[in-house]
A and B are shown apart, each in its own frame.
Chain A
Amino acid sequence: MKLGIRGRLFVLSLGVIAVAVAIMNAYVSTELRSAIEERMAHDIAIRARLVGHQVETAPAGTDWQAYAEELGRQALARATLVAADGTVVGDSEVARDALASLENHGTRPEIVGALQNGLGEATRTSATIHHELLYVAVLVTPPSQVRVVRLAQSLAPIDTAVARAHHLMLVGTIFALALAATLTSIGSHFVAKAIRTLRTTAVAMLDDLSVRTRMRGTDEVGALAEALDQLADNLNRTVQKLGNERDRLAGILETMAEGVLLTDRTGRVVMANASLRIMVGATGQLVGKEPIEAIRSDELAEMIDSVTRSQKPRTGEVDLIGIVPRHVLVRAAPLTVRGNLGVVAVLSDVTDLRRLESMRRDFVANVSHELRTPIAAIRAAAETLEGGAKSDPVAASDFIGMISRHAERLHHLVEDLLELSRIEAQKLDLKPTTVEVAEFIEHMIGLYALSASRREVLLLAGRCPDGLTFATDRRALEQILSNLVDNAIKYAAPGASVILSATERGDDVIIAVADTGPGIAAKHLPRLFERFYRVDRGRSRDVGGTGLGLSIVKHLTEALGGHVTVESVPGQGSVFTVFFPRNRATALSEVAPQPRSDNAGLPH
């Protein structure tokens, strides 16, 4: 049975009213009736005694019928006068003519009672008037013709009184019911309305946690509303906190340089961040796949698999094949916060790191090798001199020349290394001044005219726009061009020409050193600017190179904000081109933010 709060309250009050009415009914039917009866009996007994006394004083020869009628009137009851033998001698309610036909009353219980005890009572339906009547009889003393006086009163008034009481109660009940219905309706209306509002608000909260009941009160409904609002506040805060936390975590994951891969309990990928997608060159969806499907690396898949099985973290390096092969350091660990949640793998791209490491190893090996050769030569020459060669003037001068040459090479090598480390450490004291390019090229040609003519190389100035100027550090520029021009002259065959030219393109000032030398094979070009990289080891040493010149050119050009390129056709010649941004001032200030007084500047 489904009843609203109103229905329930109504049924409840109905029940209460029904019980109350039933109890009252019982009371009225029994208690009220018996109380009235008792009172009536008592009253009629008193009247009967009084009438009895009156009869005693009645003179002899009285008309008993008329006397009875008189008594009946006075006592407001039916009065019956009965002789000792039980015959009725007078009755207030019976006509004189009918007296004789009345049966003998001597056997009536009340008469019998009166004759025996002086007082008799009985209740019965009168045969004469067909009413329930209360009879009380008293003995008359001293005895006269009338021996017993009997009074009878109808009990009908009791029934009437009880009936009236019932009627009153019925009206009262109906009124009470109506009142109960109204009151429960009104009361429950307010409660139900409040509850409906609460429900509506609670339902609205499902979608929007900013909704509040805004109901206050000291009663239970008010307290409930307040509790609901507090609950919503709490939920709102928690949701916001969790949301913020999630956003923060997601933000961290998406912006971090490491790739992060998360698998669930079943081993499938549940999360992969942006770095990971870039690292593995992912094009499709990664989530929901097996690790090997997401990232085709058997090594990585095996690692994640082993962590899943052993629940122990593992670290290792794997090669990722792809368009851009990468070497990554993988740290995989089980996620065991509250049970086994899967595996998290963090991938760091160490491709560059490993390359740098190998470059450093190569560099140390190269430097050691470059230093060892002249030192060995110097030692050998010194030992030979000690061993007796010094007594032979011709041999002695040969060996001393050898020592001097190799010492010179060591010197150049150390100088170049120092220079390179200074450039790399950005400890350059760069002072931008305005350089007039045409004049500068003439200056360079002047510097190298002698060595060029010695090697029978034609050193020329090519095209150069008039009045082309830009701001740069002149000494650094001179060093760059010196290295390039010196190289061109050194490697060129006799009869070749070296041409310096300049031009401007957009915001760049471009200076080119072109030669008609032997050229450089294409395979050497990408590594040409690396330290100690030599196209032809023997040839480089012959001409006195340290293997660092082009590396210095590259670093110095970059320190000036520019860059250098090379083009070459074997057998035809090479062109080295340096590009400088015209907006020199900013370029320089970026590289060397403050001039250093402790630096001796650029050595020559």
Chain B
Amino acid sequence: MPGYHTSRDFESELRELRAHLLAMGARCERSVQLSLKAFIEGSAELIAEVKLLDRHIDRDEMESDELALRVLALRQPVAHDLRLLATALKLVTDLERIGDEAVNIAERAEEAGDGPKLVPHPHLRQMADLTQQMLRDALDAFVEADLARAERVRLADDAVDELYAKTLSETMAFMAQNPSRIPVAMGVINVAKYLERIADHATNIAEEVIFMVAGHDVRHESQRAPGMGLNDI
């Protein structure tokens, strides 16, 4: 009986998967936080830690994938359990990408070295705070199966995009006036770009959580015929 399982084993496997995903998420949050701190304060130690965390996150991705696929193959889950596993498979990809973006930020910090720093742009700071908040909220929404919170994350994405546009235009103006500081300003633009991507991944996570909890797909809603959903899973 290949599909047979005692529910306790299955339950503990799902719990393990959830714990695994959350540990990975926690590492991503930490990685983002440390990389931003490294970019603002400049610390070789922090940069090294971000890179170490990224290796751990990469390992997490493989382990979580394996765990999810094994459960999927052996237990053949249905309904909510199946949605959790499908979500897990997508979640790890987003989390892994967030880890990579954190490394990118740390690398910009590395390039800047101990040289003169651009006074951290207020909009960049806001972006950093908001992005981290989004990531935290997205993972909290996953833990609590909280649709409202996931919805908030989706809404916050627009604010991040706005801040990104502002940071971009203001930094461009700064570059035009201070050509000698273009390398430093480029760092700011890049970090803003990475933050914007992290916010996108956080939004993806929130959407995946909505799918997991409510069973309907909210991605690319505008391109979809009304009434189309994945409730049948």
Interface residues of B in 134-184 (CB under 8 A from A): 136, 139-140, 143-144
A283, A284, A298, A323: which contacts B26 (Cβ < 8 A)?
A298
In the complex, the answer to whether A290 meets B15 with C-beta atoms within 8 Å is yes
State whether A298 touches B27 (Cβ < 8 A).
yes
Q: Is there an interface contact between B22 and A321, defined as CB atoms closer than 8 Å?
A: no
Q: Mark A294-309, 1 if CB is under 8 A from B, else 0.
A: 0011110110000000
Instruction: Decide if A321 touches B33 in the complex (CB within 8 Å).
Output: yes
Point out the residues of chain B lying under 8 angstroms from A325, CB to CB. Answer: 33
A521 touches B33 (CB 8 A): no
Interface flags, A278-299, vs B, CB<8A=1, else 0: 0000011000011011001111
Could you tell me if B29 and A293 are in contact, using CB atoms closer than 8 angstroms? no
A380 vs B144: C-alpha distance when bound (angstroms): 68
In the bound complex, how far is the Cα of B19 from the Cα of A296, in angstroms? 10
Is the Cβ of B29 less than 8 Å from the Cβ of A292?
no
- Is B22's CB under 8 angstroms from A292's CB? yes
Residue of A nearest to B142 (CB): A293
- Assess the A322–B18 pair: CB atoms within 8 A: no
Q: A321–B30 contact, CB under 8 A?
A: yes
**How far does the Cβ of B110 sit from chain A's closest Cβ, in whole Å?**
21
Pair A292/B23 contact, Cβ less than 8 Å: yes
Q: Does B187 contact A (CB under 8 A)?
A: no
- In the complex, chain B residues whose CB is within 8 Å of the CB of A283: 140
Known: A290-B15, A325-B33. A296 touches B22 (CB 8 A): yes
Q: Is the interface of A mostly helix, strand, loop or mixed?
A: loop
Chain B residue numbers with a CB within 8 Å of A319 are: 30
Q: In the bound complex, what is the Cα–Cα distance between A172 and B6 (angstroms)? A: 76
Interface 1/0s, chain B 2-18, versus A by CB < 8 A? 00000000000001001
How far apart sit A301 and B19, CA to CA, in the bound complex (Å)? 9
Most chain B CB within 10 A, of A292, A302, A522, A523, is at: A292
- Is B25 an interface residue when CB atoms closer than 8 A count as contact? yes
A327 to chain B, nearest CB (A): 12
Residue B119, interface by CB 8 Å: yes
Q: Is A290's CB under 8 angstroms from B33's CB?
A: no
Q: With A284-B144, A289-B143 in contact, is A298–B23 under 8 Å at CB?
A: yes
**A296, B15: Cβ atoms closer than 8 Å:** no
Residue ID in chain A nearest B119 by CB atoms: A523
Size range of the chain A interface in the assembly: 20 to 34
Tell which of B19, B22, B132 has the most Cβ of chain A within 10 Å: B22
Contacts of A521 in B (CB 8 A): 119
Against B, the Cβ 8 Å flags (1 = close, 0 = not) of A358-377 are 00000000000000000000
- Asked if residues B18 and A290 are in contact (CB atoms below 8 Å), the reply is yes
Q: Is the CB of A321 within 8 A of B26?
A: yes
Chain B: interface secondary structure? helix
Taking CB atoms, residues of chain A closer than 8 Å to B30 are 297-298, 319, 321
Q: Which residue in chain A gives the minimum CB-CB distance to B27?
A: A298
How many contacting A-B pairs (Cβ < 8 A)?
52
Are A322 and B136 CB-contacts (below 8 A) given A284-B144, A296-B26, A296-B29?
Answer: yes
Give the size of the chain B interface in residues (CB under 8 angstroms): 21
> B143–A321 contact, CB under 8 A?
no
| Cα distance A302–B24 in the bound complex, in angstroms | 12
Instruction: Please measure, in the bound complex, the distance between the C-alpha atom of A381 and the C-alpha atom of B33, giving whole angstroms.
Output: 49
Smallest CB separation, B211 vs chain A (Å) = 19
Least Cβ–Cβ distance between B174 and chain A, in angstroms? 15
For B19, give its contact among A284, A290, A522 (CB under 8 Å).
Answer: A290
A292 touches B144 (CB 8 A): no
Q: Are A292 and B26 in contact (CB under 8 A)?
A: yes
Chain B residue contacts of A322, Cβ below 8 A: 136
Please provide the chain B residues from 113 to 146 with a CB less than 8 Å away from any CB of chain A in the complex: 119-120, 132-133, 136, 139-140, 143-144
A293 and B119 form a contact (CB under 8 A): no
Once the chains are docked, how many angstroms separate the CA of A293 from the CA of B136? 12
Which residue from B18, B120, B132 sits with its C-beta under 8 Å from A293?
Answer: B18
**B22: which A residues are within 8 A, CB to CB?**
290, 292-293, 296, 298, 301
Interface residues of A in 435-472 (CB under 8 A from B): none
- How far is the CB of A265 from the nearest CB of chain B, in Å? 13
Complex-state Cα separation, A299 to B56, whole angstroms = 12
- Name the residue on A nearest B143 (C-beta): A293
Name B20's closest neighbour in chain A (CB-CB): A292
B23 touches A302 (CB 8 A): yes
Taken together as a complex, chains A and B put the C-alpha atoms of A325 and B29 apart, in Å, by 11
Residues on B with C-beta less than 8 A from A290 are: 15, 18-19, 22
* Residues of chain A with a CB closer than 8 A to B26's CB: 292, 296-299, 301, 321
Which B residues are in CB contact (< 8 Å) with A296? 22, 25-26, 29, 136, 139-140, 143
Q: Which of A290, A302, A319 has the most CB of B within 10 A?
A: A290
The reply to whether B136 and A321 form a contact with Cβ atoms under 8 Å apart is yes
B167 to chain A minimum Cβ distance, whole angstroms, is 17
The 3 nearest A-B residue pairs measured at CB: A298-B23, A298-B26, A292-B22
* Residue ranges of A at the interface with B (Cβ–Cβ < 8 Å): 283-284, 289-290, 292-293, 296-299, 301-302, 319, 321-323, 325, 521-523
What are 30 inter-chain pairs, A to B, with CB distance below 8 A?
A284-B143, A289-B143, A290-B15, A290-B19, A290-B22, A292-B22, A292-B23, A293-B18, A293-B19, A293-B143, A296-B22, A296-B26, A296-B29, A296-B136, A296-B140, A296-B143, A297-B26, A298-B22, A298-B23, A298-B26, A301-B26, A319-B30, A321-B26, A321-B29, A321-B30, A321-B33, A321-B132, A321-B136, A521-B119, A523-B120
Contacts A321-B29, A321-B136 known; 20 new A-B pairs at CB < 8 A? A284-B143, A284-B144, A290-B18, A290-B22, A292-B23, A293-B18, A293-B22, A296-B26, A296-B139, A296-B143, A298-B22, A298-B23, A299-B26, A301-B22, A321-B30, A321-B132, A322-B136, A325-B33, A521-B119, A523-B119
Name B's A-contacting residues (CB within 8 A): 15, 18-19, 22-27, 29-30, 33, 119-120, 132-133, 136, 139-140, 143-144
